[in-house]
Structure 1
Amino acid sequence: MRAWLLAMLWLLSAGTLRAETLVIAGDLWCPVNCAADAERPGIFVELAQQIFAESGIEVEYRVLNWARAVADTRSGRLGAVIGAGVQDAPDFVFTPTAPGLSRMCFYALRGDSWRYQGLESLGQRRLGAINGYSYGAELDLYLNRHLQSPQVQLVIGDKALATNLRKLRRGRVDVLVENAWVMEAVLAERHLFNEIVEVGCRQGDIPIYLAFSPRLPRSADYARLFEQGLQRFQADGRLQALMSRYGVSSMR
Protein backbone atom coordinates (compact mmCIF):
# COMPACT_ATOMS: atom_id res chain seq x y z
CA MET A 1 0.00 0.00 0.00
CA ARG A 2 2.78 2.38 0.91
CA ALA A 3 4.59 1.61 -2.35
CA TRP A 4 1.38 2.33 -4.29
CA LEU A 5 1.00 5.69 -2.56
CA LEU A 6 4.61 6.60 -3.29
CA ALA A 7 4.13 5.67 -6.93
CA MET A 8 1.01 7.83 -7.17
CA LEU A 9 2.78 10.76 -5.55
CA TRP A 10 5.66 10.40 -8.00
CA LEU A 11 3.28 10.34 -10.96
CA LEU A 12 1.45 13.42 -9.70
CA SER A 13 4.74 15.21 -9.17
CA ALA A 14 5.96 14.24 -12.64
CA GLY A 15 2.70 15.44 -14.16
CA THR A 16 3.10 18.77 -12.41
CA LEU A 17 6.63 19.13 -13.68
CA ARG A 18 5.44 18.42 -17.22
CA ALA A 19 2.60 20.98 -17.06
CA GLU A 20 2.73 23.29 -20.05
CA THR A 21 3.31 26.97 -19.35
CA LEU A 22 2.67 29.91 -21.67
CA VAL A 23 4.54 33.06 -20.65
CA ILE A 24 2.87 36.34 -21.63
CA ALA A 25 4.06 39.89 -20.94
CA GLY A 26 3.41 43.56 -21.48
CA ASP A 27 3.98 46.88 -19.82
CA LEU A 28 1.45 48.20 -17.34
CA TRP A 29 -1.68 49.14 -19.27
CA CYS A 30 -4.41 48.64 -16.72
CA PRO A 31 -7.15 47.47 -17.05
CA VAL A 32 -5.83 45.55 -20.09
CA ASN A 33 -2.98 44.26 -17.93
CA CYS A 34 -2.18 45.49 -14.43
CA ALA A 35 0.43 44.70 -11.80
CA ALA A 36 1.46 41.04 -11.81
CA ASP A 37 0.85 40.69 -8.07
CA ALA A 38 -2.47 42.56 -8.11
CA GLU A 39 -5.70 40.88 -7.04
CA ARG A 40 -6.97 41.78 -10.51
CA PRO A 41 -4.04 41.46 -12.93
CA GLY A 42 -6.00 42.73 -15.93
CA ILE A 43 -8.73 41.80 -18.38
CA PHE A 44 -6.45 40.22 -20.98
CA VAL A 45 -4.42 38.40 -18.31
CA GLU A 46 -7.44 36.85 -16.62
CA LEU A 47 -8.97 36.02 -19.99
CA ALA A 48 -5.82 34.19 -21.08
CA GLN A 49 -5.49 32.39 -17.75
CA GLN A 50 -9.07 31.17 -17.80
CA ILE A 51 -9.14 30.16 -21.47
CA PHE A 52 -5.85 28.26 -21.42
CA ALA A 53 -6.65 26.63 -18.08
CA GLU A 54 -9.49 24.85 -19.87
CA SER A 55 -6.82 23.15 -22.00
CA GLY A 56 -4.52 22.40 -19.07
CA ILE A 57 -2.07 25.18 -19.91
CA GLU A 58 -0.77 27.45 -17.16
CA VAL A 59 -0.30 31.13 -18.00
CA GLU A 60 2.60 33.01 -16.40
CA TYR A 61 2.29 36.80 -16.58
CA ARG A 62 5.23 39.22 -16.44
CA VAL A 63 5.44 43.01 -16.53
CA LEU A 64 8.13 44.35 -18.87
CA ASN A 65 8.60 47.60 -20.72
CA TRP A 66 6.87 47.52 -24.08
CA ALA A 67 9.90 47.46 -26.35
CA ARG A 68 11.44 44.55 -24.46
CA ALA A 69 8.16 42.61 -24.31
CA VAL A 70 7.82 42.85 -28.10
CA ALA A 71 11.48 41.97 -28.71
CA ASP A 72 11.42 38.99 -26.35
CA THR A 73 8.20 37.68 -27.89
CA ARG A 74 9.62 38.10 -31.39
CA SER A 75 12.71 36.09 -30.41
CA GLY A 76 10.67 33.34 -28.73
CA ARG A 77 11.80 34.05 -25.17
CA LEU A 78 8.15 34.88 -24.43
CA GLY A 79 5.04 33.21 -25.75
CA ALA A 80 2.86 36.27 -26.33
CA VAL A 81 2.70 40.03 -25.87
CA ILE A 82 -0.40 41.64 -24.38
CA GLY A 83 -2.40 44.39 -26.05
CA ALA A 84 -0.56 44.56 -29.37
CA GLY A 85 -2.04 46.00 -32.53
CA VAL A 86 -1.17 44.40 -35.86
CA GLN A 87 1.05 47.37 -36.68
CA ASP A 88 2.98 46.87 -33.43
CA ALA A 89 4.23 43.48 -34.63
CA PRO A 90 2.90 42.46 -38.06
CA ASP A 91 5.01 39.28 -38.05
CA PHE A 92 3.32 37.91 -34.90
CA VAL A 93 0.52 35.31 -34.83
CA PHE A 94 -2.87 36.96 -34.33
CA THR A 95 -6.31 35.52 -33.70
CA PRO A 96 -9.12 36.34 -36.16
CA THR A 97 -11.02 38.01 -33.32
CA ALA A 98 -9.58 40.93 -31.35
CA PRO A 99 -10.32 40.67 -27.61
CA GLY A 100 -10.54 44.47 -27.42
CA LEU A 101 -10.47 47.80 -29.21
CA SER A 102 -8.32 50.77 -28.37
CA ARG A 103 -9.51 54.33 -28.88
CA MET A 104 -6.67 56.81 -28.80
CA CYS A 105 -7.42 60.24 -27.36
CA PHE A 106 -5.43 63.36 -26.56
CA TYR A 107 -5.08 64.90 -23.10
CA ALA A 108 -3.96 68.32 -21.93
CA LEU A 109 -4.05 70.40 -18.77
CA ARG A 110 -7.44 71.84 -17.89
CA GLY A 111 -7.69 75.40 -19.16
CA ASP A 112 -5.74 74.71 -22.35
CA SER A 113 -7.93 75.92 -25.22
CA TRP A 114 -6.26 73.64 -27.80
CA ARG A 115 -8.34 70.82 -29.30
CA TYR A 116 -7.23 67.97 -31.52
CA GLN A 117 -8.72 68.39 -35.01
CA GLY A 118 -6.49 66.14 -37.06
CA LEU A 119 -2.74 65.81 -37.40
CA GLU A 120 -2.37 69.32 -38.79
CA SER A 121 -3.75 70.72 -35.53
CA LEU A 122 -0.76 69.35 -33.62
CA GLY A 123 1.30 72.16 -35.13
CA GLN A 124 4.03 73.09 -32.69
CA ARG A 125 2.48 71.18 -29.79
CA ARG A 126 4.92 68.99 -27.90
CA LEU A 127 3.34 65.54 -27.99
CA GLY A 128 4.12 62.86 -25.43
CA ALA A 129 3.79 59.19 -26.44
CA ILE A 130 5.25 55.79 -25.55
CA ASN A 131 8.11 54.22 -27.49
CA GLY A 132 7.16 51.13 -29.48
CA TYR A 133 3.39 51.64 -29.33
CA SER A 134 1.23 51.79 -32.45
CA TYR A 135 -1.29 54.64 -32.45
CA GLY A 136 -2.67 53.94 -35.92
CA ALA A 137 -0.99 54.31 -39.30
CA GLU A 138 -1.34 58.09 -39.70
CA LEU A 139 -0.27 59.01 -36.19
CA ASP A 140 2.59 56.48 -36.30
CA LEU A 141 3.84 58.18 -39.47
CA TYR A 142 3.58 61.60 -37.80
CA LEU A 143 5.57 60.37 -34.78
CA ASN A 144 8.28 58.89 -37.00
CA ARG A 145 8.55 62.06 -39.08
CA HIS A 146 9.03 64.27 -36.03
CA LEU A 147 11.03 61.88 -33.89
CA GLN A 148 14.13 64.06 -33.87
CA SER A 149 12.25 67.29 -33.15
CA PRO A 150 10.87 68.75 -29.89
CA GLN A 151 7.36 68.11 -31.27
CA VAL A 152 7.52 64.40 -30.35
CA GLN A 153 8.82 63.01 -27.07
CA LEU A 154 8.76 59.24 -26.60
CA VAL A 155 9.31 57.57 -23.24
CA ILE A 156 10.17 53.99 -22.33
CA GLY A 157 10.06 51.97 -19.14
CA ASP A 158 7.63 49.95 -17.05
CA LYS A 159 5.81 53.12 -15.96
CA ALA A 160 5.82 55.06 -19.21
CA LEU A 161 2.34 56.54 -18.75
CA ALA A 162 3.20 57.80 -15.26
CA THR A 163 6.30 59.43 -16.72
CA ASN A 164 4.24 61.12 -19.42
CA LEU A 165 1.75 62.41 -16.85
CA ARG A 166 4.58 63.96 -14.83
CA LYS A 167 5.95 65.61 -17.96
CA LEU A 168 2.54 67.04 -18.82
CA ARG A 169 1.94 68.39 -15.30
CA ARG A 170 5.43 69.95 -15.22
CA GLY A 171 5.02 71.61 -18.61
CA ARG A 172 7.60 69.50 -20.43
CA VAL A 173 5.00 68.37 -23.00
CA ASP A 174 1.75 70.05 -24.06
CA VAL A 175 -0.40 67.05 -24.86
CA LEU A 176 -0.42 63.26 -24.41
CA VAL A 177 -1.92 60.54 -26.57
CA GLU A 178 -3.24 57.45 -24.78
CA ASN A 179 -5.96 54.82 -24.81
CA ALA A 180 -9.16 56.46 -23.59
CA TRP A 181 -10.27 54.13 -20.82
CA VAL A 182 -6.73 53.38 -19.70
CA MET A 183 -6.25 57.10 -19.15
CA GLU A 184 -9.65 57.43 -17.49
CA ALA A 185 -8.74 54.68 -15.03
CA VAL A 186 -5.41 56.35 -14.20
CA LEU A 187 -6.96 59.82 -13.80
CA ALA A 188 -9.62 58.39 -11.50
CA GLU A 189 -7.05 56.47 -9.43
CA ARG A 190 -4.84 59.56 -9.05
CA HIS A 191 -7.72 62.04 -8.66
CA LEU A 192 -6.54 64.08 -11.63
CA PHE A 193 -9.85 64.65 -13.45
CA ASN A 194 -9.85 68.29 -12.35
CA GLU A 195 -6.34 68.79 -13.71
CA ILE A 196 -6.12 66.77 -16.94
CA VAL A 197 -8.88 66.58 -19.56
CA GLU A 198 -9.55 64.91 -22.91
CA VAL A 199 -9.13 67.32 -25.83
CA GLY A 200 -10.17 65.13 -28.76
CA CYS A 201 -9.71 61.63 -30.14
CA ARG A 202 -8.07 60.05 -33.15
CA GLN A 203 -10.74 58.71 -35.49
CA GLY A 204 -10.91 54.94 -35.91
CA ASP A 205 -10.47 52.36 -33.18
CA ILE A 206 -7.47 50.00 -33.19
CA PRO A 207 -8.07 46.27 -32.54
CA ILE A 208 -5.76 44.99 -29.80
CA TYR A 209 -4.75 41.36 -29.33
CA LEU A 210 -2.87 38.79 -27.35
CA ALA A 211 -0.21 38.39 -30.08
CA PHE A 212 1.79 35.15 -30.15
CA SER A 213 5.47 34.68 -30.93
CA PRO A 214 6.38 34.05 -34.58
CA ARG A 215 9.28 31.85 -33.42
CA LEU A 216 7.49 29.25 -31.28
CA PRO A 217 6.10 26.11 -32.99
CA ARG A 218 3.08 26.08 -30.65
CA SER A 219 1.96 29.63 -31.43
CA ALA A 220 -0.57 28.59 -34.07
CA ASP A 221 -2.08 26.13 -31.58
CA TYR A 222 -2.17 28.79 -28.86
CA ALA A 223 -3.90 31.22 -31.22
CA ARG A 224 -6.47 28.59 -32.17
CA LEU A 225 -7.21 27.73 -28.53
CA PHE A 226 -7.47 31.39 -27.60
CA GLU A 227 -9.81 32.15 -30.52
CA GLN A 228 -12.05 29.24 -29.58
CA GLY A 229 -12.07 30.44 -25.98
CA LEU A 230 -12.95 33.98 -27.01
CA GLN A 231 -15.94 32.69 -28.94
CA ARG A 232 -17.11 30.67 -25.92
CA PHE A 233 -16.62 33.53 -23.49
CA GLN A 234 -18.46 35.98 -25.74
CA ALA A 235 -21.35 33.58 -26.29
CA ASP A 236 -21.94 32.65 -22.65
CA GLY A 237 -21.40 36.13 -21.18
CA ARG A 238 -18.16 35.41 -19.34
CA LEU A 239 -16.24 38.05 -21.30
CA GLN A 240 -18.73 40.79 -20.46
CA ALA A 241 -18.77 39.70 -16.81
CA LEU A 242 -14.96 39.89 -16.69
CA MET A 243 -14.94 43.35 -18.22
CA SER A 244 -17.63 44.54 -15.81
CA ARG A 245 -15.44 43.55 -12.85
CA TYR A 246 -12.92 46.11 -14.10
CA GLY A 247 -15.59 48.76 -14.63
CA VAL A 248 -15.43 48.47 -18.43
CA SER A 249 -18.79 48.36 -20.18
CA SER A 250 -17.31 47.95 -23.66
CA MET A 251 -13.84 47.64 -25.16
CA ARG A 252 -13.57 51.13 -26.65
Structure 2
Amino acid sequence: MRFIILTLLGQILSFNIFANPQDVNQDKSVINLATTEWCPYVCKNEQRGEGLILDYLREVLEAENISLNVKFFPWSRAIQEVRSGRLNGLVTAIKSEAPTLDFTNVPSMYYQMCFYTRRESTWIYQSEQDLANIKLGIISDYGYGEPVDSYATEMHNYTNMIKIGGTDSLLRLEKLLAKKRIDAFIEDKHVVQWMFQQSALREAGCLNKIPFYMAFNPLYAEETEVIPLIDSLLSFSKNQQLFQQKYFPRYFD
Protein backbone atom coordinates (compact mmCIF):
# COMPACT_ATOMS: atom_id res chain seq x y z
CA MET A 1 0.00 0.00 0.00
CA ARG A 2 2.77 2.45 0.93
CA PHE A 3 4.57 1.80 -2.38
CA ILE A 4 1.37 2.52 -4.33
CA ILE A 5 0.83 5.80 -2.49
CA LEU A 6 4.41 6.95 -3.05
CA THR A 7 4.21 6.09 -6.76
CA LEU A 8 0.97 8.05 -7.22
CA LEU A 9 2.29 10.92 -5.14
CA GLY A 10 5.23 11.19 -7.51
CA GLN A 11 2.81 11.53 -10.41
CA ILE A 12 1.02 14.43 -8.70
CA LEU A 13 4.14 16.28 -7.63
CA SER A 14 5.58 16.05 -11.14
CA PHE A 15 2.64 18.09 -12.49
CA ASN A 16 1.70 21.67 -11.71
CA ILE A 17 -1.65 21.08 -10.04
CA PHE A 18 -2.58 24.71 -9.50
CA ALA A 19 -5.67 25.85 -11.39
CA ASN A 20 -3.71 28.38 -13.45
CA PRO A 21 -1.29 26.43 -15.68
CA GLN A 22 0.73 29.58 -16.46
CA ASP A 23 1.62 30.14 -12.79
CA VAL A 24 4.70 27.91 -12.75
CA ASN A 25 6.15 29.44 -9.58
CA GLN A 26 3.41 28.09 -7.34
CA ASP A 27 3.93 25.19 -4.91
CA LYS A 28 3.20 22.01 -6.86
CA SER A 29 1.80 20.12 -3.82
CA VAL A 30 -1.43 22.10 -3.45
CA ILE A 31 -4.86 20.92 -4.61
CA ASN A 32 -7.38 23.72 -5.17
CA LEU A 33 -10.88 22.70 -4.12
CA ALA A 34 -14.32 24.28 -4.23
CA THR A 35 -17.10 23.61 -1.76
CA THR A 36 -20.20 25.05 -0.19
CA GLU A 37 -20.75 25.33 3.54
CA TRP A 38 -22.25 22.02 4.66
CA CYS A 39 -21.51 21.80 8.35
CA PRO A 40 -20.69 19.48 10.12
CA TYR A 41 -19.05 17.95 7.01
CA VAL A 42 -17.44 21.15 5.66
CA CYS A 43 -17.58 24.27 7.85
CA LYS A 44 -16.62 27.88 7.25
CA ASN A 45 -16.72 29.45 10.71
CA GLU A 46 -16.77 26.65 13.26
CA GLN A 47 -14.68 26.60 16.45
CA ARG A 48 -14.17 22.83 16.36
CA GLY A 49 -12.49 22.95 12.96
CA GLU A 50 -13.25 23.09 9.24
CA GLY A 51 -15.68 20.20 9.35
CA LEU A 52 -15.51 16.45 9.73
CA ILE A 53 -14.52 15.68 6.13
CA LEU A 54 -12.24 18.64 5.49
CA ASP A 55 -10.31 18.19 8.76
CA TYR A 56 -9.82 14.51 7.95
CA LEU A 57 -8.74 15.06 4.34
CA ARG A 58 -6.28 17.75 5.35
CA GLU A 59 -4.49 15.48 7.82
CA VAL A 60 -4.42 12.47 5.48
CA LEU A 61 -3.04 14.49 2.56
CA GLU A 62 -0.63 16.58 4.61
CA ALA A 63 1.01 13.31 5.67
CA GLU A 64 1.85 12.93 1.95
CA ASN A 65 3.06 16.56 1.68
CA ILE A 66 -0.08 17.72 -0.13
CA SER A 67 -2.06 20.68 1.18
CA LEU A 68 -5.58 21.80 0.31
CA ASN A 69 -6.60 25.30 -0.75
CA VAL A 70 -10.37 25.45 -0.24
CA LYS A 71 -12.72 28.16 -1.50
CA PHE A 72 -16.39 28.46 -0.50
CA PHE A 73 -19.16 29.26 -3.00
CA PRO A 74 -22.89 28.74 -3.43
CA TRP A 75 -23.20 25.13 -4.57
CA SER A 76 -24.00 25.74 -8.25
CA ARG A 77 -21.03 28.12 -8.50
CA ALA A 78 -18.71 25.59 -6.81
CA ILE A 79 -19.57 22.98 -9.44
CA GLN A 80 -19.00 25.47 -12.25
CA GLU A 81 -15.59 26.51 -10.87
CA VAL A 82 -14.39 22.91 -11.13
CA ARG A 83 -16.15 22.12 -14.40
CA SER A 84 -14.46 25.12 -16.04
CA GLY A 85 -11.02 24.13 -14.73
CA ARG A 86 -10.57 27.24 -12.61
CA LEU A 87 -10.33 24.94 -9.59
CA ASN A 88 -9.27 21.31 -9.40
CA GLY A 89 -12.03 19.53 -7.51
CA LEU A 90 -14.97 19.43 -5.10
CA VAL A 91 -14.54 18.46 -1.46
CA THR A 92 -17.81 16.50 -1.45
CA ALA A 93 -20.22 15.54 -4.23
CA ILE A 94 -22.34 12.77 -5.69
CA LYS A 95 -22.46 11.88 -9.36
CA SER A 96 -25.95 13.23 -10.04
CA GLU A 97 -24.77 16.70 -8.98
CA ALA A 98 -21.80 16.91 -11.35
CA PRO A 99 -21.93 14.05 -13.89
CA THR A 100 -19.19 15.53 -16.11
CA LEU A 101 -16.57 15.39 -13.33
CA ASP A 102 -14.40 12.40 -12.39
CA PHE A 103 -15.13 10.89 -8.97
CA THR A 104 -13.08 8.94 -6.49
CA ASN A 105 -14.09 5.29 -6.24
CA VAL A 106 -13.83 5.15 -2.46
CA PRO A 107 -16.45 7.27 -0.65
CA SER A 108 -15.41 9.82 1.93
CA MET A 109 -18.50 9.12 4.04
CA TYR A 110 -22.23 8.37 3.86
CA TYR A 111 -25.09 10.78 4.40
CA GLN A 112 -28.86 10.50 4.73
CA MET A 113 -31.46 12.91 3.42
CA CYS A 114 -34.61 13.39 5.49
CA PHE A 115 -37.77 15.45 5.11
CA TYR A 116 -38.61 18.18 7.62
CA THR A 117 -41.95 19.82 8.31
CA ARG A 118 -43.46 22.14 10.88
CA ARG A 119 -44.28 20.52 14.23
CA GLU A 120 -48.02 20.50 13.65
CA SER A 121 -47.82 18.69 10.30
CA THR A 122 -48.96 15.07 10.03
CA TRP A 123 -47.42 14.42 6.60
CA ILE A 124 -44.98 11.49 6.40
CA TYR A 125 -42.78 10.45 3.47
CA GLN A 126 -43.07 6.77 2.60
CA SER A 127 -42.83 6.77 -1.21
CA GLU A 128 -42.55 9.13 -4.17
CA GLN A 129 -46.34 9.34 -4.39
CA ASP A 130 -46.39 11.22 -1.09
CA LEU A 131 -44.48 14.13 -2.66
CA ALA A 132 -47.49 15.03 -4.80
CA ASN A 133 -49.37 16.06 -1.64
CA ILE A 134 -46.97 18.82 -0.54
CA LYS A 135 -44.97 21.81 -1.76
CA LEU A 136 -41.33 20.79 -1.32
CA GLY A 137 -38.37 23.12 -0.90
CA ILE A 138 -35.06 22.07 -2.46
CA ILE A 139 -31.67 23.61 -3.28
CA SER A 140 -30.68 23.97 -6.94
CA ASP A 141 -28.15 21.42 -8.25
CA TYR A 142 -28.12 19.42 -5.01
CA GLY A 143 -28.11 15.64 -5.27
CA TYR A 144 -30.62 14.24 -2.81
CA GLY A 145 -30.77 10.66 -4.02
CA GLU A 146 -33.63 8.79 -5.60
CA PRO A 147 -36.51 9.21 -6.07
CA VAL A 148 -36.18 12.92 -5.24
CA ASP A 149 -33.56 13.68 -7.91
CA SER A 150 -35.77 12.29 -10.69
CA TYR A 151 -38.88 13.90 -9.22
CA ALA A 152 -37.17 17.31 -9.18
CA THR A 153 -36.33 17.15 -12.91
CA GLU A 154 -39.84 16.31 -14.14
CA MET A 155 -41.59 19.39 -15.50
CA HIS A 156 -45.05 18.47 -14.25
CA ASN A 157 -43.78 18.51 -10.65
CA TYR A 158 -42.46 22.08 -10.79
CA THR A 159 -45.65 23.56 -9.33
CA ASN A 160 -45.11 21.39 -6.24
CA MET A 161 -41.57 22.66 -5.61
CA ILE A 162 -39.63 25.76 -4.75
CA LYS A 163 -35.97 25.69 -5.82
CA ILE A 164 -33.53 28.15 -4.31
CA GLY A 165 -29.82 28.84 -4.80
CA GLY A 166 -27.19 31.24 -3.55
CA THR A 167 -25.89 31.60 -0.02
CA ASP A 168 -27.55 30.45 3.24
CA SER A 169 -29.87 28.18 1.26
CA LEU A 170 -30.84 25.92 4.15
CA LEU A 171 -31.60 28.84 6.45
CA ARG A 172 -33.80 30.32 3.74
CA LEU A 173 -35.66 27.02 3.33
CA GLU A 174 -36.30 26.90 7.07
CA LYS A 175 -37.73 30.43 6.93
CA LEU A 176 -39.95 29.50 3.97
CA LEU A 177 -41.22 26.57 6.01
CA ALA A 178 -41.93 28.76 9.04
CA LYS A 179 -43.84 31.23 6.81
CA LYS A 180 -45.83 28.32 5.29
CA ARG A 181 -44.53 29.03 1.80
CA ILE A 182 -43.51 25.36 1.64
CA ASP A 183 -44.77 22.28 3.48
CA ALA A 184 -41.43 20.49 3.80
CA PHE A 185 -37.80 20.62 2.80
CA ILE A 186 -35.20 17.87 2.46
CA GLU A 187 -31.65 17.89 3.85
CA ASP A 188 -29.06 15.63 5.44
CA LYS A 189 -30.11 14.79 8.99
CA HIS A 190 -26.70 15.63 10.52
CA VAL A 191 -26.70 19.04 8.84
CA VAL A 192 -30.19 19.81 10.16
CA GLN A 193 -29.33 18.63 13.66
CA TRP A 194 -26.21 20.80 13.56
CA MET A 195 -27.93 23.98 12.38
CA PHE A 196 -31.31 23.71 14.09
CA GLN A 197 -30.60 22.04 17.42
CA GLN A 198 -33.41 23.82 19.28
CA SER A 199 -35.80 24.34 16.38
CA ALA A 200 -39.44 23.48 15.86
CA LEU A 201 -38.71 21.12 12.97
CA ARG A 202 -40.26 17.68 12.70
CA GLU A 203 -38.54 14.79 10.90
CA ALA A 204 -41.04 13.20 8.52
CA GLY A 205 -39.22 10.26 6.92
CA CYS A 206 -35.85 9.66 5.28
CA LEU A 207 -34.28 8.28 2.11
CA ASN A 208 -31.68 5.52 2.19
CA LYS A 209 -28.12 6.42 3.16
CA ILE A 210 -25.91 7.17 0.16
CA PRO A 211 -22.14 7.72 -0.19
CA PHE A 212 -20.48 10.96 -1.19
CA TYR A 213 -17.07 11.36 -2.82
CA MET A 214 -14.43 13.84 -3.91
CA ALA A 215 -14.81 14.93 -7.55
CA PHE A 216 -12.25 16.41 -9.94
CA ASN A 217 -12.00 18.20 -13.25
CA PRO A 218 -11.39 15.37 -15.79
CA LEU A 219 -8.27 16.94 -17.33
CA TYR A 220 -6.74 17.53 -13.93
CA ALA A 221 -7.60 14.01 -12.79
CA GLU A 222 -6.01 12.48 -15.89
CA GLU A 223 -2.81 14.50 -15.71
CA THR A 224 -2.20 14.08 -11.98
CA GLU A 225 -3.68 10.62 -11.25
CA VAL A 226 -5.07 12.17 -8.08
CA ILE A 227 -8.02 9.77 -7.92
CA PRO A 228 -5.96 6.57 -7.40
CA LEU A 229 -4.01 8.43 -4.71
CA ILE A 230 -7.16 9.52 -2.85
CA ASP A 231 -8.64 6.03 -3.20
CA SER A 232 -5.51 4.49 -1.71
CA LEU A 233 -5.44 6.92 1.20
CA LEU A 234 -9.13 6.52 2.03
CA SER A 235 -8.83 2.72 1.85
CA PHE A 236 -5.84 2.62 4.19
CA SER A 237 -6.98 0.99 7.46
CA LYS A 238 -4.88 3.35 9.59
CA ASN A 239 -6.63 6.35 8.02
CA GLN A 240 -10.05 4.78 8.52
CA GLN A 241 -9.24 4.34 12.21
CA LEU A 242 -8.12 7.97 12.36
CA PHE A 243 -11.48 9.05 10.95
CA GLN A 244 -13.52 6.98 13.40
CA GLN A 245 -11.46 7.65 16.51
CA LYS A 246 -10.42 11.30 16.07
CA TYR A 247 -12.68 13.18 13.69
CA PHE A 248 -16.09 11.56 14.02
CA PRO A 249 -16.19 12.08 17.82
CA ARG A 250 -15.08 15.72 17.37
CA TYR A 251 -18.31 16.59 15.57
CA PHE A 252 -20.70 13.92 16.83
CA ASP A 253 -19.98 13.74 20.55
What band does the TM-score fall into relative to the shorter chain? 0.7 to 0.9
Give how far 1:218 is off.
5.7
Amino acid at match of 1:69: A
Q: Are 1:70 and 2:74 matched, yes or no?
A: no
Give how far 1:238 is off.
0.3
Tell me what 2:29 maps to: 20
User: How far apart in 2 are the matches of 1:127 and 1:17?
Assistant: 46
Q: Give 1 or 2 for the bigger CA radius of gyration.
A: 1
Mapping of residues 142-157 of structure 1, within 5 Å? 142-146=151-155, 149-157=158-166
Mapping of residues 201-220 of structure 1, within 5 Å? 201-202=206-207, 204-217=208-221
TM-score, scaled relative to structure 2:
0.83
Q: Which moved more, 1:35-44 or 1:108-117?
A: 35-44
User: How far apart in 1 are the matches of 2:54 and 2:166?
Assistant: 20
On the 8 A contact 2:97/2:142 being kept in 1, the answer is yes
Amino acid at match of 1:212: F
User: How far apart in 2 are the matches of 1:41 and 1:118?
Assistant: 35
Give the secondary-structure state (helix, strand or coil) at the position aligned to 1:243: helix
How many corresponding residue pairs?
Answer: 228
Q: Are 1:43 and 2:71 matched, yes or no?
A: no
Give the secondary-structure state (helix, strand or coil) at the position aligned to 1:123: helix
Give how far 1:65 is off.
0.7
Amino acid at match of 1:160: S
Q: Are 1:172 and 2:172 matched, yes or no?
A: no
Unpaired stretches in structure 1, ≥5 consecutive residues: 1-15
User: How far apart in 1 are the matches of 2:187 and 2:74?
Assistant: 16
Give the secondary-structure state (helix, strand or coil) at the position aligned to 1:227: helix
Q: Percent identity?
A: 25
Tell me what 2:172 maps to: 163
Tell me what 1:197 maps to: 202
User: How far apart in 1 are the matches of 2:86 and 2:212?
Assistant: 21
User: How far apart in 2 are the matches of 1:211 and 1:246?
Assistant: 23
User: How far apart in 2 are the matches of 1:91 and 1:226?
Assistant: 19
User: How far apart in 2 are the matches of 1:235 and 1:83?
Assistant: 18
TM-score, scaled relative to structure 1:
0.83
Tell me what 2:235 maps to: 231
Q: Deviations 1:81-130 (Å, cap 9, x if unpaired)? A: 12211211223222221011121110001011111121111223110011
User: How far apart in 2 are the matches of 1:219 and 1:35?
Assistant: 30
User: How far apart in 1 are the matches of 2:247 and 2:46?
Assistant: 18
Unpaired stretches in structure 2, ≥5 consecutive residues: 1-24
On the 8 A contact 2:117/2:185 being kept in 1, the answer is yes
Amino acid at match of 1:156: G
Give the secondary-structure state (helix, strand or coil) at the position aligned to 1:105: strand
Tell me what 1:7 maps to: none
Change in Cα spacing, 1:27 to 1:233, as seen in structure 2 (3 Å) is: farther
Amino acid at match of 2:205: G
| Alpha-carbon RMSD | 2.1
User: How far apart in 1 are the matches of 2:151 and 2:116?
Assistant: 17
User: How far apart in 2 are the matches of 1:120 and 1:31?
Assistant: 31
User: How far apart in 2 are the matches of 1:157 and 1:147?
Assistant: 24
Mapping of residues 103-182 of structure 1, within 5 Å? 103-146=112-155, 149-182=158-191
Change in Cα spacing, 1:153 to 1:159, as seen in structure 2 (3 Å) is: same
Q: Deviations 1:6-60 (Å, cap 9, x if unpaired)? A: xxxxxxxxxx953421111211111110116755111221122112212222201
Amino acid at match of 1:71: Q
Q: Which moved more, 1:125-134 or 1:149-158?
A: 149-158
